[in-house]
Amino acid sequence: MSLTLAIIKPDAVEGRKVGPILARLEEEGFRIRAAKFLRLDPDQAGAFYAIHRDRPFYEPLKTFMTSGPVLALALEREDAVPRLREVIGATDPAEAEAGTIRALCAENKERNAIHASDSEETARWELGFFFSTRELLGGA
Ligand code: CMP
Q: Is 117 in the pocket of ligand 1 (CB under 6 A)?
A: no
**Whole-number mean pLDDT of the chain?**
97
Give tens-digit pLDDT for 73-124. Answer: 999 999 999 999 999 999 999 999 999 999 999 999 999 999 999 999 999 9
Q: State the residue range of the domain holding 12.
A: 2-131
- 52 is a catalytic site residue: no
Ligand 1 atom nearest residue 7's Cα? 3
Q: The domain that contains 91 carries what CATH number?
A: 3.30.70.141
> Does residue 95 fall inside a structural domain?
yes
What are the CA-CA distances from residue 73 to residues 3, 23, 31, 56 (Å)? 10, 13, 10, 27
> Does residue 78 fall inside a structural domain?
yes
With the most atoms of ligand 1 within 8 angstroms of its CB, the residue from 107, 109, 115, 122 to mutate is 109
Check whether 140 has a pLDDT greater than 80.
Answer: no
Select which of 115, 116, 123, 130 is catalytic: 115
Q: How far apart are CA 102 and CA 81, in angstroms?
A: 16
> Does residue 139 fall inside a structural domain?
no
